Structure 1
Amino acid sequence: MAYYMGIDGGGSKTYALLTDAAGNVLGKGRSGNGNHQTGAQEAAANIRAAAFAALAEAGLGLEDVRHTYLGLAGADRKTDYDILHPLVRSIGFSSYTIGGDTMIGLRAGTNRPYGVALICGTGTNAAGRNREGQHFQCGGFDYMYGDFGGGGALNVEVFRTVIRAWDGREAPTLLTAALLELLGYKSVGDMYNDFLDHGKSVPLDAARLLFPAAAAGDAAALAILHRQGAELGKSAAAVIRRLGMEHDVFDVVLAGSLLTRGDRGWIRGPIEQAVREAAPHASVVTLTTEPVVGAVWSALESDGLSITSEIYDKMRTFQEFEPIPITTRQE
Structure 2
Amino acid sequence: MPNQTYFLGIDGGGSKCKARLEDAQGNLLAESIAGPANPVRDRQLALSSIQQASQEAIELAGLPASTLAQTYAGIGLAGLNLPYYKNTMQEWQHPFAGLALSTDLHIACLGAHNSDSGAIVIVGTGSSAIVCKDAEQFEYGGHGFLLGDKGSGAWFGLQTVRWALESFDGIKPSSPFIEAVCRFFGCTDAAPLVEKHLASSPAEFAKLAPLVFEYAEQQDPVAAAIVQEGAAYLSALAQQLLSHKPQRLAFIGGLAHKIQPWLDEDIQHSLRAPFQSPESGAIILARKQFQVLEKAL
Question: TM class, shorter-chain normalised?
Answer: 0.7 to 0.9
> 2:77: which partner in 1?
72
Match of 2:111 among 108, 112, 116: 108
2:143 is equivalent to residue 141 of structure 1: yes
How far 1:82 sits from its partner (Å)?
0.9
> 1:309: which partner in 2?
none
Q: What is the distance in 2 between the residues matched to 1:207 and 1:10?
A: 17
Q: How high is the TM-score relative to the length of structure 2?
A: 0.80
How far 1:129 sits from its partner (Å)?
0.9
> 2:255: which partner in 1?
258
Q: How does 1:225-244 map to 2 (within 5 A)?
A: 225-241=227-243
How far 1:164 sits from its partner (Å)?
4.5
2:266 is equivalent to residue 273 of structure 1: yes
Cα distance change on mapping 1:27 and 1:179 into 2, 3 Å: closer
> 2:26: which partner in 1?
23
Q: How does 1:307-318 map to 2 (within 5 A)?
A: none
What amino acid does structure 2 have at the position aligned with 1:64? Q
**1:139 and 1:145 in contact (8 A); partners too:** no
> 1:285: which partner in 2?
272
Q: How does 1:1-331 map to 2 (within 5 A)?
A: 1-56=4-59, 57-59=62-64, 61-65=67-71, 67-87=72-92, 90-130=93-133, 132-142=134-144, 145-165=147-167, 169-185=171-187, 190-195=188-193, 198=195, 200-201=197-198, 204=205, 205-241=207-243, 245-246=244-245, 248-250=246-248, 252-260=249-257, 262-263=258-259, 265-266=261-262, 269-270=263-264, 273-274=266-267, 283-287=270-274, 289-304=276-291
**2:15 and 2:36 in contact (8 A); partners too:** yes
Identity %: 25
Gap regions ≥5 residues in structure 2: 293-297
**1:114 and 1:128 in contact (8 A); partners too:** yes
What amino acid does structure 1 have at the position aligned with 2:266? Q
1:135 alignment partner, SS class: strand
How far 1:181 sits from its partner (Å)?
1.7
Q: How high is the TM-score relative to the length of structure 1?
A: 0.73
2:37 alignment partner, SS class: coil
Q: What is the distance in 2 between the residues matched to 1:174 and 1:289?
A: 38
**2:117 and 2:247 in contact (8 A); partners too:** no
Gap regions ≥5 residues in structure 1: 277-282, 306-331
